[in-house]
Structure 1
Amino acid sequence: MTAERRPDAPAARTARRPRTLKARLNVWVRWLHTYISMFSLLLILFFSATGVTLNHPDWTFGGVEKQQQFSGNLPANWNAGGKADALTIAEFLRAKHGLHGMASDFQYQAGAGGLSFRAPGYSADVQFDKSGKYSVNVDAQGALAVANDFHKGRDSGTAWSWVIDVSGVFLVIVALTGLGIMLFLRKVRTASLVSIVLGGLVMGYLMWRAM
């Protein structure tokens, strides 16, 4: 008597049904919303918080504005060839007094000149004459003013300007993908759309009142 053979696994297994376009789109929207939100979380928090502080310029949170004045004489080669050298003057003042930021607004006419250093929450204005004597007025504001200037992109350079632009794009993506997720949820879809419409009407009304 031969041993009974165990039946093999079914030759034809039920094939997994491919995901519909709607299902794949749902997964993609959720993935994009999640990881863009996490990647830009600190940027979103920064621009949200400084948006509030910008609306209240009297808030300082204990930050202290520091003003300083310096004076002295420019190096002998500041006007080599009878022409004021902006780079030589700027680098000398940076090394001498620790000035920082972008040097701009350089001018020299009729024996008098000046230039400015600008950075977020910081300014230094320099005046000098043909004898080489100079004076510097420095205004260094508190940390909150620095953060507010970064929010506005004031005197923060090209790289930070790109950060602001990219942050705006991220916020748009986060908002639109969040909307997309809500549209896939039948139970809250109608309530979500009604909330968006009501929010838009309130915002429009407040803008109209402010004009």
Structure 2
Amino acid sequence: MAISLGSARQWHWISSAVCLVGMLLFAITGITLNHAAEIPARPQVITHELSVPAELLDTWSDSESDTMQLPASLLQWLASEYRIYVPRDHRGEWDGSEYYLAMPRPGGDAWLSLDRDSGDLTFESTDRGWIAYFNDLHKGRDTGGVWRWFLDIFAVACVVFCLTGFWLLWTQSSRRISTWPVTALGVLIPLVIALVFIH
């Protein structure tokens, strides 16, 4: 029993250390998400309307696919001239004459539209601020594969933290008579709220 108890304690503190920052982040963003309508937000919108040089459009090979990527030379030009950064792996919608690319991201989004014949390009970027950014991290919205993997690993660490905590409660409950009433209260409070107050 001593080995099992020691092992549970070790896994409990390891999982708590792994979860510490993540749990704080998720708890705080849980509050901001719950009160999203009450938190003022002033999105910052940046718009560019420009003409793409013909020589850059000439490097753009025709494609029969309805999705395609912008040529690297055009991406470099947008970044150097207008500080418009388009991820190289993003593919947009192509109808034979007009190209449209959506670029959602945590806390904002952007889009780009390019007329192949005229070279007219419109770019718009919206930044909704840091609170929206962390709220989207909480939801895993438009965060990419690496963040989703982090969320999965974080969730597993939280499960280990809870199960080892329960095991520690179980092994020490005989010395603390309030253990199970308090634990039952933790189950009953959300259950009653869900059954009675949520319609």
TM-score by length of 1: 0.78
Q: 1:143 to 1:59 in 2, by over 3 A?
A: farther
- Per the alignment, residue 32 of structure 1 pairs with 11
- Per the alignment, residue 109 of structure 2 pairs with 123
2:98 and 2:151 map into 1 onto residues whose CA distance is 38
How big is each residue's C-alpha offset from its partner over 1:96-143, in whole Å with a ceiling of 9 and x where there is no partner?
433457574611215222102222112111112122111111101111
Letter in 1 for 2:113: Q
Q: 1:50 to 1:115 in 2, by over 3 A?
A: same
2:140 and 2:43 map into 1 onto residues whose CA distance is 20
Tell me the C-alpha RMSD between the 2 structures. 2.4
Higher-Rg structure is: 1
Among residues 108, 120, 138, which one is paired with 2:125 in the alignment? 138
How big is each residue's C-alpha offset from its partner over 1:77-114, in whole Å with a ceiling of 9 and x where there is no partner?
33533349623255543444334575746112152221
Task: Give the fraction of aligned pairs with identical amino acids, expressed as a percent.
Answer: 23
Letter in 1 for 2:163: L
Q: Which structure 2 residues correspond to residues 24-173 of structure 1 after superposition, within 5 A?
A: 24-60=3-39, 64-75=42-53, 76-78=55-57, 80-83=60-63, 86-88=69-71, 89-90=74-75, 92-100=77-85, 104=90, 106-130=92-116, 131-173=118-160
Q: Which runs of 5+ in 2 are unaligned?
A: none
Q: Which runs of 5+ in 1 are unaligned?
A: 1-21
1:202 CA displacement: 2.0
Aligned pair count?
Answer: 188
1:210 aligns with 2:198: yes
Structure with the larger RCO, 1 or 2 (CA within 8 Å, 6+ apart): 2
1:41 and 1:101 map into 2 onto residues whose CA distance is 34
Structure 1 segments (4+ residues) deviating >6 Å: none
How big is each residue's C-alpha offset from its partner over 1:157-206, in whole Å with a ceiling of 9 and x where there is no partner?
11001111111111111111111111121212x42222222221221221
1:28 CA displacement: 0.5
